[in-house]
Chains A and B, each alone.
Chain A
Amino acid sequence: MAKKETMTINMGPQHPSTHGVLQLVLELDGEIVVDAVPHIGFLHRGVEKLAENRTYHRALPLTDRLDYLAPMSNNLGYVLAVEKLLGITDKIPQRAKVVRVMMAELTRIKSHLVWLATHALDIGAMTVFLYCFREREAIMDMYEKLSGARMTSNYFRIGGLSQDLPEGFEDDVRAFIEAMPGHIETYEGLLTGNKIWQKRTIGVATISAEDAIDIGLSGPALRASGVDWDLRRDNPYSGYEEYDFNVIVRDGCDTFDRYKVRLDEMRESCKIIAQALDKLEPGPILADAPDVCLPPKKDVVNSIEGLIHQFKLITEGCKPEPGEVYQSVEAPKGELGFYIISDGSGNPFRMKIRPPSFVNLQALPQMVRGRLLADVIAAIGTLDIVLGEIDR
């Protein structure tokens, strides 16, 4: 009898379907995965350390680069955390809150579109990829109108927003959410009923509810395992308690149910955006908190008081009382948390980020052990990881 040997292969960091620079060391017995070890760190930039040497305002652009597919959700988590630290959460104007919710939900759709596109492409359905990117392009254009950038938006500010919505923006959003449910039907038409798609996803990469909680899964991956948990409803922020939406929960624990959960979440997001548009009323977009928020540009260029005010804030930053705070938001990929410690200076003493992808990635070895090589691809896709926030 010959000795039974396994083959070790490196999947990534240069591999078409590891979604960035994830390296997986796979132990293969034929095509069956005996073990999988994820190696991370190829995209490490030291975001948490960088933030310690910047004022609170200037640390904001760093958060764009965490989950670069959902920049506004990251912005939201960070500004909410700092506002909580400064104690100005109640002062945020209604218009800013509504716009934040609207943009966070558009971001959710944007992120889920990229997930669906790449997940389908990984499993071999290439047409869905281009359809999804067509719709994503519309959201990118809105981002550009709003903030000038297509990906790293840096639009929210501590205390509100950087600028008001441009003219005609609401009509763009309304047109988009009216068309979007039809587009989702198209994706479903190509995939949901497709026998091959079902065979590739049903019962693949399962994780039970207990295991999911033990690992700390969050977001759609958790809800597809039958755990009814959504921070927007269970720990509302930015006025989410005023919106009427369903938390999608399914209990198949597999790739197919995670796919369905995310598709239904996009539909719910459209509903939330529609409600936000109805709530949108003219008003201030920055909190009335002069020691935190920058003065309007016209004051800066027209009066010496305004100029000094801006200079002080830019050079010294806002100085929260010593203390610590944790604020989490329901980002498209799961619970995104910011834990910030202040020592009373203008810079955070420590900023710890809890990225959903990093925690969710832990489920991967358990999901793929004993399964086929092709399922590894499906499992990576279904976890919806982004290396930008795993490595930080």
Chain B
Amino acid sequence: MSEMLSLSNDPTLFIAVMLAKILVVFIVVILIVAYATYAERKIIGHMQTRLGPTMTGPLGLLQPIADGLKLFFKEDIIPSQASKLAFILAPMMILVPAFITVAVIPFGDSITVKGYTVPLQISDLNIGVLYILAMSGLGVYGIVLAGWSSNNKYSLLGGVRSAAQMISYELAAGLAIISVFMLSGTLQLSDIVAAQSGSILNWYIFSQPLAFCLFVITSLAEVNRTPFDLPEAETELVSGFCTEYSSMKYALFFMAEYANMVVLSAITATLFLGGPAGPFPGPINLLIKVFAFMFFFIWIRATFPRVRYDQLMYLGWKVFLPLALLNIVITGAVVVF
């Protein structure tokens, strides 16, 4: 086993490799985000007896680019009564945490560069899971700020809804993950992946089916997807927290939603499906799993109605939370005895 590449043994190479990894991951995520919108429109289209985009480029493949350009050239309107700084800051505060969460996700085994070992992961934090929870918790500030700073009653309702929703579901999601690292004994994502290696039966989805289900459902709530898309429930709150946004700021919200979907899919794959493990090279395995989850999210959207606010709270606090606690107790008992 060769030496691990670090800042101390070859600083120049380390920085170059690091930048390369960040760039590649960033571009891949951006591309997935762009084409997730396309895939969503195509898949939902076919589920609903229509075709989705067909006119821009072959099979409508240039649609995400056309959408992006269109939004980019739109007039950027800031309401005169809005709180300006918060209004401008809010979309960034949603998008940035979504993207930086990707930093801790391992996307393959190590490779060797100039005799040094390079792990395929931007940063292998020893508190990786906590970092993920912290970052997903930050996203809610953006939504609340957006809702509050717009100075619009519908936006405000959207913002308040999302704050309540995120807090209740973060709790259940966090507790669901606890049982995973009770089994792995570590918060480090690379070690969690290693603990699931070997056979497909080592994946935590088989030893922790309840935690898996809880985490997937609460993920839906965290990314504000149907059936938990209350903060932006179009038919109730016009557009919820992003009612007043236009142009590129609106595009940022849109991107953040999809980026969150990608990130949560990747996290679920890492925690429960063995991360990059599988028959193909690591990154491809991970992408396949991510796409499977994305398809699931889109499928759900085409099928389910939206739950009501009080029902959402009831589910979060009175169903998911006790279930997650129960799961911890069971896992604890199994680990001890």
Residues on A lying within 8 angstroms of B by beta carbon are 7, 9, 15-17, 31, 120-127, 129-131, 134, 190-191, 194, 196-197, 199-200, 372-377
Contacts and interface: CB of A to CB of B under 8 A. Distances in A.
A374 B311 CA distance: 11
A127 B306 CA distance: 12
B306 to A, nearest CB: 3
B304 A125 contact: yes
Interface in B274-308: 301-308
User: Do most interface residues of chain A lie in helix, strand or loop, or is the interface mixed?
Assistant: helix
Given A16-B234, A127-B48, A196-B306, 10 more contacts: A9-B154, A123-B235, A126-B48, A126-B301, A129-B48, A191-B305, A194-B305, A196-B305, A200-B311, A372-B309
Contacts of B3: none
Given A127-B303, A131-B48, A375-B308, A121 B235 contact: yes
B67 interface: no
Contact of B310 (A123, A129, A372, A376): A372
B11 to A, nearest CB: 54
Q: Which 6 A-B pairs have the closest CB atoms?
A: A124-B306, A17-B235, A125-B305, A130-B48, A124-B305, A122-B235
A200 B48 contact: no
A124 B304 contact: yes
B120 to A, nearest CB: 39
A116 to B, nearest CB: 13
Interface residues of B, number: 28
Contacts of B161: 31
A372 B308 CA distance: 8
Nearest to A125: B305
Contacts of B84: none
B303 A190 contact: yes
B311 A199 contact: yes
B70 interface: no
Most buried by A among B48, B226, B234, B236: B236
Given A126-B48, A130-B50, A200 B307 contact: yes
A330 to B, nearest CB: 29
Interface in B206-234: 226-227, 229, 233-234
Interface string B308-337: 111100000000000000000000000000
A124 B309 contact: no
A119 to B, nearest CB: 10
B310 to A, nearest CB: 6
A62 to B, nearest CB: 31
A263 to B, nearest CB: 16
Contacts of B229: 124
Contacts of A194: 304-305
B49 interface: yes
Contact of B226 (A7, A124, A130, A199): A124
Contact of A374 (B226, B227, B233, B304): B233
Nearest to B153: A9
Interface string B230-267: 00011110100000000000000000000000000000
A125 B304 CA distance: 5
Nearest to B311: A199
A200 B305 contact: yes
A124 B305 CA distance: 4
B307 A196 contact: yes
Contacts of A127: 44, 47-48, 302-303
B157 interface: yes
A15 B238 contact: yes
